[in-house]
Amino acid sequence: MKGRSLGVAFTYVGAVVGAGFASGQEIYQFFGRFGTAGVWGIGIAGALFAWLGYLALESGRRGRAASFGALLESLYPASLVRVAEGVTTAFLVIGLGVVAAGGGAASQQIIGLPVFWGALATSLFIVLVVARGTDSVVRVNVALVPYLVVLVMMVALLTWHQPARLRVGSAHGWALSALLYLSYNIFTGIMVLIGIGPRLTGRRDSVLAAVGGAVLLSGLALMEHHALSRLHTPGALPMLDLAARVHPVWGTLYGVSLWIALFTTGVAEAYALRTQYGRRVLWLVGATFLFSIWGFQRLVATLYPLMGVVAVVLWIPLVYRPKQSASGG
């Protein structure tokens, strides 16, 4: 894979692997509780990540959209563009709030920092990176995502020999759950990929970046799915709990990777807002730490499924009108 495509693939992973994924909450809620059926769900989500990621990259590369506002204009009639833009903006701001809350929870577990101050620090670091532009966003992901990938793999492998303890519920609804998971995660992915698309020089680069990112995402999800089955009752940060059970050092190292995952997703969401509204929106990004007062686990459990439903409705035109959003010269 070319270096440019690899950088975009890592950025794609960084945009998706965030507030719930690295903690284990997302994988449990949308896949783990379905047992073996959840594995099929991960496969379906992975294939769609590759396809939709390619459409988004081609849309940006060919100049069809330079921001999510331009993309929405190509998908919706003029009377609905403002509504869709408002929903998209709210989605990204809420996502940043969950990231900040997760950053606060991770900081408390790693170094004992109060949740409020950890959330504030996470939000401010995101602002600092995004203020420096696209190159800074890509460099941060190239530097941090490999560490995250390695830590998830190591924790999964170190717990591989342990017996399965998780009580699996009914497999009913596993496919819908997979689609909901995809819908709100691809939301942020599309936003950042259309902005990064112009960095690529051809369709082959778009294919390599989209497929590479999807393969990494699916592989990480499968490893987490297996690791989480070793827990009887997943807590707020189940992957961090597993790592700490292996050894306190692994717990600390995984705690750092959890914060990295939250951070890279927050960077992607803030970058999408900046491409649409400019630097002036960064003050709002900095204020999202206030979401931490509701607690990370509660936010993931209540907001993420709702956000998934909204995202499905919002992005149906991207799937059924691909020639308008991702094709052309």
Residue 322 is predicted with a pLDDT of 44
Residue 149 is predicted with a pLDDT of 87
Helix and strand element counts for the chain (H, E): 14, 0
Among residues 21, 56, 11, the alpha carbon closest in space to that of 271 is found at 11
Residue 142 is predicted with a pLDDT of 87
**202-252 pLDDT tens trace:** 889 999 999 999 999 999 999 998 888 877 777 777 888 888 888 888 888
Residue 325 is predicted with a pLDDT of 43
Place of tokens 């769900």: 41
Q: What is d(CA 32, CA 227) in angstroms, rounded to the nearest whole number?
A: 10
The model's pTM = 0.78
Residue 238 is predicted with a pLDDT of 85
**Sign (positive or negative) of CA dihedral 257, 258, 263, 269:** positive
Q: Where are the domains positioned within the chain?
A: 3-161+174-320
Residue 327 is predicted with a pLDDT of 43
CATH class of 3-161+174-320: mainly alpha
Q: Which two tokens stand for residue 19?
A: 């507030």
Among residues 299, 292, 269, the alpha carbon closest in space to that of 103 is found at 292
DSSP code at position 37: H
Low-confidence residues of the chain, pLDDT below 70?
Answer: 1-3, 19, 64-67, 163-171, 297, 300, 304, 308, 315-329
Phi and psi dihedrals of 303, rounded to 5?
Answer: -85, -35
Q: What is the largest CA-CA distance in the chain?
A: 57
Residue 54 is predicted with a pLDDT of 92
Q: What is d(CA 253, CA 239) in angstroms, rounded to the nearest whole number?
A: 12
Residue 66 is predicted with a pLDDT of 62
